[in-house]
Structure formats: C-alpha cells, structure tokens
Structure 1
Amino acid sequence: MKIGVISDVHSNILALEAVFQDIQKRKVDLIVCTGDLVGYGPYPNEVVEFIRKNNILTVMGNYDDAVGYERMICGCDYPDPKDMENAAISLNFTIETLKEENKKFLRQLPYEMILKFEEKSIMFVHGSPRRLNEYLKENSKEAQEVMEDFKYDILVCGHTHIPYVKRYGEKLLVNSGSIGKPKTGSPYANYVILNISQEVDVEICSVNYDYEVVAKEILKNGLPEKFAENIRTGKA
C-alpha cells in the first residue's frame, strides 16, 4: 500500500497541482492531506475546490479551523509582532476571499483520521493528537511525550512545514512537510510517500514548480511581501 501524504498547502494551487501530478506518476494507492489547505497564499478557493474535486482525504488544520469558523487568530506561534500582524492580514484576506461553501467544507473536516493497512494502524493529524496547533518538531520534548503514550503504529502530522521521519521504538513519527509554504530552505514543494507492507518505508519527495508566479500573485493581492519571499526562498 502506497500512501502519498501532503500537508500545509496554504492556498498555493500551483504547488498542489505539481505535487498531485508527481504523486500520480508514482502510482500511489491513496492520497491523504494533513490539513492547512488555506492561508498565506492567493488561491484559497482553487485549493479547496481541487481537494474536493479529487476526493482527497483531509484532516483539519489550525488555519482551516480559523477560516472555516472566521476566528480572529489562526492559532500559529508568532513571537515577532510583525509576523503576527502579517498573519492577521492573511487571515482577513482568506476569510473575505473564500466562498461560503468552501468554508463549510473546512468546518466539516475531521480533527484526526485513523486508517489500517497491512496490520499497521496509522493516525493522521495536523499538529498532534493533543492539539490542532501543537508543533511536533524533530527530536522535541513534545514529540517524545506524544509518542510515549501513542497507541497506534504510525503517527503522521504536519504543521511544522519541515518533513522528517523518526522512530520511537516500534512506533514511527512522520512529518509530511509542506507543499505550499516550505521551510526547508528550498522553494520546492515537499511531501512524503508511505510504503506500507510488513515493513514501513518512508520517502521524502520534493517537486519544483513555478513559484515565481505564486510570489507575484501574492503581491498583486496586497498580501505581505514576506509571504512572497517565503515562497521564493523556502525560508520562514
């Protein structure tokens, strides 16, 4: 069983389309998204409608929750006041731009999903099983705590925008990275493929796309210049 896992699309339809094409070439059996379809980028409706049209299994991200329910904050961790101001601009733009039917879709997304293949149980969440917006960074105290009490075989999350694979005894923690707003130091979209058999193999994939078009569209829509820089550099 091959599962392509995408995450943190963040209103970047060009990255989503490029990754979708790459996944199809690799002949996966299933695609799962670990949330944050919207925010930061200029194409929220296009992304949600692509996910809906292609019946991609998706769990709710903190940004999906904030936009779907039209909250005042997105639930991200921004110690810098300027970043907090930019996040507010992004949230307001996305709430104003997204169609009501697409907001309804976001509100109906589950907080978690549990699937079983080849006797392996897999939980998909956005942040962590404990909180929608908790960061499970590689080798972090939070990740260690979560995996100590984890009752399934594999935990797949997103939210940090940096893909990684970490084993905790017999259990596996996989972060699916970000296709729409990577923080790897590269503008390429990244995602993971889980190959589930008696053993579990995880491949971290990266895909080039025309990110300059997205950067220019960000500026055209009056979104912060830093968002365009993020897209061009893959840096936070």
Structure 2
Amino acid sequence: MPRIVVISDIHGNLDALQAVWGDVRRRKADKILFLGDAVAFGPEPNETIEFLSDVVKPDLVLRGNTDRYLLESLWKKKEHNLQPAVAQSLEWTAGKLSKKSNEYLSKMADETRLEIDGLKLLLCHASPGSDEIGVKAGDNEHLSAAFESAKVDVVLCGHTHVPYRTRIAGTEAINVGSVGFPFDRDLRACYLSFFVGDGEIQELTFCKVSYPTDRTVAKMNETEMGGKSLFVHRLLTGTASEPKLAPEKQG
C-alpha cells in the first residue's frame, strides 16, 4: 500500500519544516503533497521555499491564500480587509522574496483531484472552491453544498491550522493541520500520514514533531517584520489568539 504524506501551512518556519522532513524520511513516504501557505508570517521565507523545492520536492504543490496575497500584493489594495499585522508581515515577506521564490509561488496549482488505488481525492487549501473558508473543528454545515458538489471520497485541506477529521455532506473531510503555526495548543509541527488500500484510507495518523520553537522565535525577533509580535505570540501559544496589551499606567 502506498504511504501518502500531506503537509500544509509552513508559513516561513524553516525549523519546523526541517524537523518534519526528518520525520517524513523515517516513514519513507511514497507521495508527498503540499496544500499551500508556504512563506508568509515566518522569519525565513526564501530559505523555506528553497528547502521545500530542492529537498522535500513535493509531488504536488498547491497555492494557499497567503501565497496568493503575496502574488497579488493584496496589502497594497485599498479594498483589502487584512489585519494590520498581517498586511505588514506580507509586505516584509514580499520584500525578502527572491525572483526564484516568486517563480515558485507563481507555479503553484489551485485545488486538484487525484485518484489513488480507486480512492477519489480532492486537494484544496481551505475547502472546495475556496482558499479562505476553512474546515473547522465543529459545525461545517455552511460547507455542505461545496462538499456535495465535489463528488469525491475524501477532501484533504489545511488553512485553519487545526488537525481534524469529519464528514461533511457524506464526504470525508480531513484537515491536515499546520507545520509552521499550529493552532491546537500543541506547539509541535503537524502533518498527515496515511496508507491507501482497497479504495480506502488506512492507518491515518496526525504526526506531531517537536522542533526548536525558541530558536524560531529568536529569528523572528531579529527581523524587521512589522506586526511580528502577533506571530511570535502564536508560535509560543499554539493558538490563533492575539497578545493582550499591557494596561496603561495611571498617574
């Protein structure tokens, strides 16, 4: 049976990606799939793309919403509704990306269908037809129409940074979690591993890998990235929360 490994949401966290790669090599994957969000918000965008493209070499590379934002220079558009910290981080990242890195982003695919040993899969960044509306741990009724129209056995997605397995409109939905910025209160990098046999997913595992988070935080603090305090907070808490502002001193 082929072993399939799926990674997503690296977000410029090279330390986490390198740790995951070490674990993936030990498991000897037959196929590696990447579901997008390669570089934004982390301290090492170019190094991350170089490692992803030259070392990991995924068999399939999808474009995530933040990859698209970088290609579109979304933060420059008046109508954008990005958080200030997100816009500042995207601008910093764009300024760091090399020509080679931008070319890699531009060649990423949109959602893709695969069939492996009779199992029909749809791979997307967030959900069928969207790179921004994610599959959450909870009620996903609003996604029923999209999943029903997908007409596949399994949808693999990322975006929310929380590993999760459920069914939506009769279709199995698996959120693979995040390599670079986990939001399930577990600071370890997360990726998905499974086998395909007899047209079914077998031995599915959300793999958790420790990496030197403190080193990544130190790298973040050394950058001139605007809004970096938000992303440092998220690295240290494993959540999508925002840091609380210290109360102003009176008198």
What TM-score do the two structures reach when normalised by structure 2?
A: 0.86
- The CA deviation at 1:77 is 7.7
Residue 137 of structure 1 is matched in structure 2 by: 136
Percent identity at matched positions?
29
Task: Out of 166-175 and 183-192, give the one that drifted further.
Answer: 166-175
Amino acid at match of 1:60: R
Q: 2-side partners of 1:76 and 1:154: how far apart?
A: 33
Matches within 5 A, 1:177-196: 177-196=177-196
- Deviations 1:149-168, CA, capped at 9 Å, x for gaps: 22111110111000111134
Query: Quick one: structure 1 residues 205 and 226, their matched pair in 2 at CA, closer, same or farther if it must change by over 3 Å?
Result: same
Residue 42 of structure 1 is matched in structure 2 by: 43
The two structures, once aligned, show a CA RMSD in angstroms of 2.0
Residue 204 of structure 1 is matched in structure 2 by: 206
- The CA deviation at 1:225 is 1.6
- The CA deviation at 1:18 is 0.5
Q: 1-side partners of 2:170 and 2:140: how far apart?
A: 18
Count the aligned residue pairs.
Answer: 231
Residue 222 of structure 2 is matched in structure 1 by: 220
Residue 8 of structure 2 is matched in structure 1 by: 7
Contact 1:66–1:73 (8 Å) recurs in 2? no
Query: Quick one: structure 1 residues 48 and 121, their matched pair in 2 at CA, closer, same or farther if it must change by over 3 Å?
Result: same
Query: Quick one: structure 1 residues 233 and 73, their matched pair in 2 at CA, closer, same or farther if it must change by over 3 Å?
Result: farther
Contact 1:68–1:104 (8 Å) recurs in 2? no
Which protein is bigger by CA-based radius of gyration? 2
Residue 73 of structure 2 is matched in structure 1 by: 70
- Deviations 1:90-144, CA, capped at 9 Å, x for gaps: 1011000011221121011111122211101111110122122222223322333
Residue 148 of structure 2 is matched in structure 1 by: 148
Contact 2:74–2:80 (8 Å) recurs in 1? no
The residue matched to 2:74 in structure 1 has which SS? coil
Matches within 5 A, 1:99-138: 99-138=98-137
Q: 2-side partners of 1:38 and 1:143: how far apart?
A: 27
Task: Out of 94-103 and 134-143, give the one that drifted further.
Answer: 134-143
- Deviations 1:138-193, CA, capped at 9 Å, x for gaps: 33223333222221111101110001111347631111110101101011111111
The residue matched to 2:33 in structure 1 has which SS? strand
Residue 81 of structure 1 is matched in structure 2 by: none
Q: 2-side partners of 1:73 and 1:154: how far apart?
A: 37
- The CA deviation at 1:227 is 1.1
Query: Quick one: structure 1 residues 70 and 51, their matched pair in 2 at CA, closer, same or farther if it must change by over 3 Å?
Result: same
Contact 1:136–1:142 (8 Å) recurs in 2? no
What TM-score do the two structures reach when normalised by structure 1?
A: 0.91
- The CA deviation at 1:52 is 1.2
Q: Find runs of 4+ consecutive structure 1 residues off by over 3 angstroms.
A: 73-78
Structure 2: stretches of 5+ with no match in the other structure: 241-251
Query: Quick one: structure 1 residues 69 and 164, their matched pair in 2 at CA, closer, same or farther if it must change by over 3 Å?
Result: same
Amino acid at match of 2:238: G
Query: Quick one: structure 1 residues 3 and 37, their matched pair in 2 at CA, closer, same or farther if it must change by over 3 Å?
Result: same
The residue matched to 2:75 in structure 1 has which SS? coil
Matches within 5 A, 1:19-98: 19-53=20-54, 54-56=56-58, 57-72=60-75, 84-98=83-97
